[in-house]
């Protein structure tokens, strides 16, 4: 098994990274079209083991630049999210043997038996 990239990105910073990338993609694309320039989006992920655990801290940095009428505008955002690592190396926000209790909207995702 390997890490599910869609779920992984969706779990970073409680879903905010996914929203930020979506916003950046649209903002940069619109600026490129409007100003006939070049834009760039960079996603950097740094992983570091958390003490004596089966977790890593994923530091995520999003950087983007977009063309303006007279130059460029840029911004960067950095945050981190702890993730569990299973024996095969796949990463998830929840422990590998624990089911999800809630979805991203806070609704009950599944019922876990006692």
Question: At 72, which helix (H) or strand (E)?
Answer: strand 72-85
Q: Is residue 112 part of a domain?
A: no
Q: Is residue 103 part of a domain?
A: no
Give the pLDDT mean for 67-87.
95
With 50 as the cut, is the pLDDT of residue 105 above it?
yes
The C-alpha atoms of residue 46 and residue 58 are separated, in whole angstroms, by 6
The C-alpha atoms of residue 20 and residue 12 are separated, in whole angstroms, by 11
Q: Is residue 111 part of a domain?
A: no
Q: Terminal CA-to-CA distance of the chain, rounded, Å? A: 27
Tell me the pLDDT tens digit for each residue of 16-48. Answer: 999 999 999 999 999 999 999 999 999 999 999
Q: Is residue 67 part of a domain?
A: yes
Range of the domain at 34: 5-92
Q: Is residue 109 part of a domain?
A: no
Based on the structure, what is the number of domains in the chain?
Answer: 1
Q: Is residue 82 part of a domain?
A: yes
Q: Is residue 41 part of a domain?
A: yes
- Would you state the pLDDT for residue 102? 65
**83 is written with which tokens?**
């993730």
Q: Is residue 102 part of a domain?
A: no
- Would you state the pLDDT for residue 95? 83
């Amino acid at each position: 098994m390997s890490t599910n990239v869609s779920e992984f990105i969706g779990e970073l910073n409680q879903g905010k990274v996914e929203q930020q990338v979506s916003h950046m993609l649209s903002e940069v694309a619109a600026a490129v079209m409007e100003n006939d320039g070049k834009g760039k989006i960079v996603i950097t992920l740094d992983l570091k083991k958390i003490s004596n655990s089966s977790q890593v801290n994923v530091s995520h940095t999003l950087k983007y630049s977009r063309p303006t009428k007279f130059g460029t505008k840029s911004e960067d955002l950095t945050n981190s999210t702890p993730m569990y690592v299973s024996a095969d190396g796949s990463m998830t926000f929840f422990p590998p043997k624990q089911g999800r209790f809630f979805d991203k909207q806070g609704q009950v995702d599944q019922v876990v038996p006692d």
